[in-house]
Amino acid sequence: APELGENGVEVAVSHVGLCGSDVHLINSDGGYADFTGYAVGKPQICGHEVIGTVTGVGSDVAHLKVGQRAGIGWQCEACHECEWCKNGDEQLCSSVKCTCCEGNIGAFADYMRIADGKFCFAIPDECDSAATAPLLCGGRITRLAAGLYFVVYALYLGYEVMATYQIIPPVCPFGGVCI
């Protein structure tokens, strides 16, 4: 693997939430085609609701330590210089990068790296990893059909479904899942 940059973080993935955006990215549908890895000649590796153990930090990362449990959500980078970033609204930055879009490698892997450690957060010990990972989603969580799709797909791939969560029962009985 390439060297971890001064602001980078590497995490050994233990839990990943599954989101409707992952289905759209994998299928290149719903207006997502231009944001996939495929669009830039790379594979599409999803996963943006991540809990794991920090295995590496860049020299400028002070808020995380190797061995610490941490989480990563939808965003993985911003400029930190524009008016939006300076006001704490990094999600509006025109340079924002998403964790598993445009060729960035998501967390459906053993390890993942992000270049901007400010988007990796310490997860308190009191928070259950399987229940917390889906909360790192950047938007509205999956609906019934997507939730059911993910449960079936996860089982098909041989994963053990460790938790499901409900958003608005009974409309979304499957909510999202964490594998």
pTM: 0.75
Instruction: State how far the Cα of 85 lies from the Cα of 130, in Å rounded to an integer.
Output: 30
pLDDT in tens, 15-67: 998 887 888 888 887 777 888 878 888 888 888 889 999 999 999 999 999 99
Handedness of CA 29, 133, 150, 108 (dihedral sign): positive
pLDDT tens sequence across 97-145:
888 888 888 888 899 999 999 999 898 888 888 888 888 876 544 333 3
